[in-house]
Each structure stands twice: as C-alpha cells, then as structure tokens.
Chain A
Amino acid sequence: NAGVTQTPKFQVLKTGQSMTLQCAQDMNHNSMYWYRQDPGMGLRLIYYSASEGTTDKGEVPNGYNVSRLNKREFSLRLESAAPSQTSVYFCASSELEGPLDNEQFFGPGTRLTVL
C-alpha cells in the first residue's frame, strides 16, 4: 500500500498562474483533508471532505478550491496564485473509527513557491 500520495513534490509558479495539486489514498478512507504548513504557523486546514461527494471549508479556504473526484482522490486548485500561497501543502486521509478517533495519515507534501 502506498498510503497517501501527492503530486507534484515541488512546484514553482508565477503570480497569477493556476495549478492543481493532486492527492490520492489507497486505504479506502472516507475522509480527506488539505493543509498548508508555514514556518511558525503550524498546520492549518484549508478544506476537507468528510465523505465522497461532500466538501467543507477549513480555517484558511480563501484562494483555493477543491474537488473530491471519487473516494480515492481529492484535489486542491489555486486559480490565481499569489506569493502568500507559498507554502508546503499536505494532503491527509482518515477513517473515523469512532466519534473521538480521527487518526489522520499524511502524504509527503508539495512544496510550492509563488514568485
């Protein structure tokens, strides 16, 4: 099992360009998440998908859109990239075994630089 995979691993964009970050999981998890991690800011939730067909905003959704393509795949789109979106982006997935258990498994991350 590959777990959670993300593509690309690195990306450099110019201001105003668009791109889609891809994420896939092979653990048959229902829930998937997109986070960004900035120095000194910790992990912040951008969007999540509790189950196939649903998406919800997290803490910092502005400037992003998501698509839950199927149970395995959850993509994050930057329509018009800005330097403030320079960050490391992590995708994660989880299967809530109970009301209190939300162990999230993280992908390797995408390092995005916007010039």
Chain B
Amino acid sequence: QKEVEQNSGPLSVPEGAIASLNCTYSDRGSQSFFWYRQYSGKSPELIMFIYSNGDKEDGRFTAQLNKASQYVSLLIRDSQPSDSATYLCAGNSGGSNYKLTFGKGTLLTVNP
C-alpha cells in the first residue's frame, strides 16, 4: 500500500511565526508532490506543487523536497490567522500521472 504520512496535529503557532508542515511518502516512484489547503467545511485548493529536489518558493510559502529521504515539507512564513486550515500533502502514484495519494492532513491553527 503506497502511503503518504502526515502528522495530524493540531499544530499551533503564533501569528507572525513560521509554520512547518511535514510529510513522508513510501512510494519511491512518486515524482511530484502537491500541497493543498482545506478550510473547515470547504473543498481543497492547491497551494503549490514540487517535483525537483530542493526548495520552491511562492510568496510566503516554501515547499521542500528530499527524494533520498522521501520527505516533503511546507513552510509558511509570517503566519496569519487566515492560514488556519488543514493542509493536505499528496503525491502522484508511481507510474500514474493521474492518481494522487493524499495524506490525512495536518490541522494548523495560527493564534493572533
């Protein structure tokens, strides 16, 4: 069973701090990884994706991928209360560009 593992949290950070969300995956065939944000009662929305080793930055968000360690992370700088949500990590199933395997999500709370 190919798995994507996330710490379910909750992760609580003060406003303005850096929030660090982590994800590990078991499928070495997975090539690309996606971070989705899901507000309570809403549908997931994509924040960013990454497929190369290293860092990828987009505004306050930085995704990091380490294929050797099978580890993906998302850093949120200058966290805001509006960032409070569940963050879902997903990886494409090796051999298929269409199938995404999602982690169970990490609940982030940013305290004013």
Contacts and interface: CB of A to CB of B under 8 A. Distances in A.
Interface string A79-112: 0000000000010000010011111111111000
A106 B34 contact: no
A109 B92 CA distance: 22
21 contacts: A40-B104, A42-B88, A42-B105, A43-B44, A43-B88, A43-B90, A45-B100, A56-B98, A58-B99, A90-B43, A96-B98, A99-B31, A99-B97, A102-B34, A102-B92, A102-B97, A102-B98, A103-B34, A104-B46, A106-B44, A107-B43
A43 B98 contact: no
Given A100-B31, A100-B32, A106 B43 contact: yes
B25 interface: no
A58 to B, nearest CB: 7
A45 B105 CA distance: 15
Interface in B88-103: 88, 90, 92, 97-103
Contacts, number: 58
Max chain B C-beta neighbours (<10 A), residue from A33, A44, A50, A102: A102
B43 A42 contact: no
Contacts of A43: 44, 88, 90, 102
Interface in B1-40: 8, 31-32, 34
Contacts of A104: 34, 46, 100
Interface residues of A, number: 26
Interface of B: 8, 31-32, 34, 42-46, 49, 51, 88, 90, 92, 97-105
Interface in A1-51: 31, 33, 40-45, 48, 50
Interface of A: 31, 33, 40-45, 48, 50, 56, 58-59, 90, 96, 99-109
B59 to A, nearest CB: 17
Given A42-B102, A44-B102, A102-B34, A90 B92 contact: no
Given A40-B104, A101-B32, A103-B49, A45 B99 contact: yes
